[in-house]
A and B are shown apart, each in its own frame.
Chain A
Amino acid sequence: MTVESTAARKPRRSAGSKAGTTGTERTTRTTARKAAEPELVQLLTPEGKRVKNAKNAEYAKYVAGITPEELRGLYRDMVLTRRFDAEATALQRQGELGLWASLLGQEAAQIGSGRALRDDDYVFPTYREHGVAWCRGVDPTNLLGMFRGVNNGGWDPNGNNFHLYTIVIGSQTLHATGYAMGVAKDGADSAVIAYFGDGASSQGDVAESFTFSAVYNAPVVFFCQNNQWAISEPTEKQTRVPLYQRAQGYGFPGVRVDGNDVLACLAVTRWALDRARDGEGPTLVEAYTYRMGAHTTSDDPTKYRADEEREAWEAKDPILRLRRHLEASNHTDEGFFAELEAESEALGRRVREAVRAMPDPDRFAIFEHVYADGHALVDEERAQFAAYQASFATEAESGFAAGSGDN
């Protein structure tokens, strides 16, 4: 046994005895969390103070010239995204949506990375990237169609270079990699960003996308939002090393950023996108953040996580943090917040009305776009379906339908 490995084992034992636990599982988890924290790139503390140090300098220069107006813009994006998300959660509770995957707590990771992108960059999201969609100019009401059950997508992916939400965990990282390989073949200098979570990091597709992107030097940024929980499973059930360190084994850089710090997320993503544009290949960004709500509205986090954990993360709230910074820097006045509040309410109202007004799709939509070139079986079944539907009209016309007879 080497000196290093002995040293690595010691604190594990003492951490266990301090915490008063007897099992080894609890001890290793504590150690993993402690080891994880100091690696963060942070530019704004939870108190809203700018952080300047040698470690952050490489990234800080990417936001060195940020104006008060841009800071207010980031704040506005986060507030409106949170308001939209809250409205969607409420609409699910009211039975207007079948399901909702909330992004509460992840606004900084999404707005910071989303605002780092150029229009010609391409985004491959999971199903929780409502803030990134907002940055891409996708109308938020379009995100709700699949959750209401009127479609499986809801927007033209090429309209905003924002791919459809992907439900199967991690699949989109390969699509992003392939797309980025195409970008490189085209000789374009745009970049591609793939979003995924800590749970997805366990999927083979994510590992394969790391391999392919490294081998082909694809201009792709892997943006992992480590929100600590994959439904009920903590990050420790996915990995025994900090996630950003995975990149090293594939031959490209990984960096862990404070995912609740919008400035740091903006800076680090810009840095990673720059690398992609310059032909330096993929980067893994791990945004260390927290999902404050449930995984989806079907989930019940009270069954698997402690209140204290959420409370600890609430103190690191991304929106509050930037507000403190804006106020301390005299970048805003009361009028700004009041106007934003009014804008939020208007957005909530618009979303609410849009969802309730969403028509059910035409019943023949079942058979639309199954194939680009057409397919005999689809044609046959559409005709059968039409005949079946028409049989009701025939009954009504001949007076058999209830309430339509002369007598």
Chain B
Amino acid sequence: MDLAYTQEEREFRARLREWLAAVLPGLPPRPDPADWPGRRAYDAGWQRLLYDAGYAGLHWPADAGGRGATPTQHLIFLEETERAGAPYVGANFVGLLHAGPTIAAEGSPEQRARWLPPVLRGDEMWCQGFSEPGAGSDLAALRTRAVRDGDAYVVSGQKIWTSHAEVADWCELLVRTDAAAPKHRGISWLAMRMDAPGVTVRPLRTLAGSTEFAEVFLDEVRVPLAHRVGAENDGWRVTMVTLSFERGTAFVGEVVACRRTLDALAAEARRTGRWDDPVLRRRLGRLAAEFQALWRLTQWNVSEAQRSGGVPGAGGSVFKLRYSHARQELYEAAAEVLGAGDALDLDREWVRDRLSSLSYTIAAGTSQIQRNIVAERILGLPKGR
């Protein structure tokens, strides 16, 4: 067990720090969250900066245009960018972490050449068309259908919870290409243009008041057969390849940010005198243990992935379960630090974060589904009711 970073890793960190210190002061101000075109331009600009500096697609394989970095280097990248207050991956999330890696792993040479470079440069944004009203955590229950018609599929159905749908150029779309096949078969993975005729985007308002995601209605949208990645009816396997890579490092930056928030809560409580309440103080102390452990668990999982050649282990579900609840606890404590006077003031960042933290035990597989996964796939308990 060695938590020390290698010489190479330390040099990587130092170069990255230097670059961040040089480039961040020149960034334009962050756009208002409601300003979607502004957000897209901002996220694209950040991606372009990363690209020009050689940090784009850090964890992608080199033959897909990436840097082929180790999981530890990726960990350092996420940690340092968060610590420096750099922009989050934002609207580039699906392209960089989902669709891109999927195309890199499963796409034809033509598909890789067409879709990967624009993702790395920040020229094209992707969104994810997986979830449906009748298929949330039970992803394979999706019903959106695609019927062959000449050189294209004709797609009809509805997607939901589609983040960044308003600004995306492409959608990674799961469709049913064989209605008679068993649930997990008969699914195909398509790349669909968001400006294709028949695509309608309707933003959904979250309980936090924002429009982070949308419903997407598909009415006889034509998607060229050439835009299918992987074999027809093999989309479920293609998707699982991608999803398993999401878990390992998806929350690294957030854990760093949570610890910083905790420090700020303690400072605020000291300032207002609430720190004298031992119940609150001890609650914050316990949260410190929580985020410290989550950071170490991340390092454990990344080290495990590195040893197994980049394949994430089962630790991702364990981490996701613990982290999503810890994050909610953090903002419950924040409300107590703020006190009744400020805990409902939407101009306070912690109040908005408290609201958005409610999504964490739901998004990317609810905690209940995650527990089933842990019990069945890791502990080997029988499938059942």
Q: Do A and B come from one complex?
A: no
Query: Which A residues contact B (CB, under 8 angstroms)?
Result: none
Query: Which B residues contact A (CB, under 8 angstroms)?
Result: none
